Structure 1
Amino acid sequence: MNQLTKMALEMGPLILFFAANATTNLMTATAVFVAATIVALSVSYIIARTIPIMPLIGGAFVIVFGGLTLYLDDDLFIKIKPTIVNLLFAAILFGGLMAGKLFLKLVLESAFKATDEGWRILTWRWAIFFVVLAVINEVVWRNFSTDTWVAFKVWGIMPLTMVFGMAQVPVLMKYQLPEEEGGPAAS
């Protein structure tokens, strides 16, 4: 699957959520979000015959918390979903560190090759960042309008995450393992 398709499948449901909220209301937007997430996960599976773990976990939370929002007619559930997801990711990363496991390495090792020390630093940083995102989500949904929360979820959290991720590049560069030389012998 090419990167553009992957990005569209991962970002598409969130952008549709934002657009539906801007033109209708949160309940309709939540229904669109749930449906678009199911479609995106299905298309991802059809194209790649697999669903990457992070979109699968995120999608499961969208379906469960979005479903609770719709079934109970209570927007609390969709608003606390980012808090719970971010705290879950943080707990998994912190738990892995305490158990001597580098779960971030397991997820990203195919994209980046780094020393265990580099993965440990990145794991600490991402775990703390997930806690910060959870706190920010709580502050925004509790103190601002629903429309502001939706806009921040789409246009605030994503840029923050991208900037934070790019700020980790020096760690990856410092602890990068050298490329494996050779490969299959040329005939």
Structure 2
Amino acid sequence: MAEEKKISQGLKSALELGPVLLFFIAYTRLKDETYVFGGTEYSGFIVVTVLFIPLLLLSTAILWKLTGKLSRMQILTAVLVIVFGGLTAYFNDEKFFKIKTTIVYGLFAGLLGIGLLLKRSWLELVMDDFLPLKPEGWMILTRRLTAMFAALAIGNEIVWRTMSTDAWVKIETFGFPIALFAFFMSQSFLFQKYADEPDEEEA
């Protein structure tokens, strides 16, 4: 397995969040425009969605080149963006790209839920190096995060089905990430209570 290389947190954040912010900026500029390709009219949203695909892939490729590693979430996101972005363009229908968010959060909730049924925290497998917790702490965090992902999936369905595309883009770009950030901040007491401190020999 290739050794992960270290890069600055600022560069890493720029590569991860840059495409999403550029999508938002491009949407605000092109949302009222209509473009014709091959005799078919496409809204600004669909054009921006199609442009977002190579931008995300380029950012992901640069991140992999610089670090030598990609997380499962980054790989899954790239695959789903390609699939549902392609469906959005092919059927000329915005809903396919909007559903992608529901599927991402729903998959995370489902996978973590399956682990819980097996009495395992699969969250621990991907976050243990970053956040060392005792086993009981991982189980509690996994149950809470499973519920959070399920709530976000349901929330996305409500938003895109009942609100405007403008509202969905803003909530997708800022609302859901802020909600996840707030969730992890709210778990600070759990992190302190179940922190897995190394013993003296390990230290």
Q: TM-score, normalised by structure 2?
A: 0.86
Within 5 A, what are the aligned runs for 1:1-187? 1-24=7-30, 25-181=44-200
Q: Tell me the CA shift for residue 154 of structure 1.
A: 0.8
CA distance in 1 between partners of 2:156 and 2:46 (Å): 19
Count of paired positions: 184
Which SS does the other structure have where 2:131 is aligned?
coil
Identify, as 1 or 2, the structure richer in helix.
1
CA distance in 2 between partners of 1:102 and 1:37 (Å): 30
Q: Tell me the CA shift for residue 2 of structure 1.
A: 2.2
CA distance in 1 between partners of 2:147 and 2:173 (Å): 21
* Contact 1:12/1:36, CA 8 A, preserved across alignment: no
Q: Tell me the CA shift for residue 182 of structure 1.
A: 5.4
CA distance in 2 between partners of 1:3 and 1:80 (Å): 30
Divergent runs of 4+, >6 A: none
The one-letter code sitting in structure 1 at the alignment partner of 2:114 is G
Gap change, CA 1:169 and 1:109, over 3 Å in 2: same
Identity of aligned residues (%): 36
The one-letter code sitting in structure 2 at the alignment partner of 1:62 is V
* Contact 1:82/1:137, CA 8 A, preserved across alignment: yes
Q: Tell me the CA shift for residue 141 of structure 1.
A: 0.7
How big is each residue's C-alpha offset from its partner over 1:73-116, in whole Å with a ceiling of 9 and x where there is no partner?
11111010110110100000000111122111011101111111
CA distance in 2 between partners of 1:26 and 1:55 (Å): 23
CA distance in 2 between partners of 1:116 and 1:160 (Å): 25
CA-based RMSD of the aligned residues comes to 1.4
CA distance in 2 between partners of 1:50 and 1:62 (Å): 19
Structure 1: segments with no counterpart, 5+ residues = none
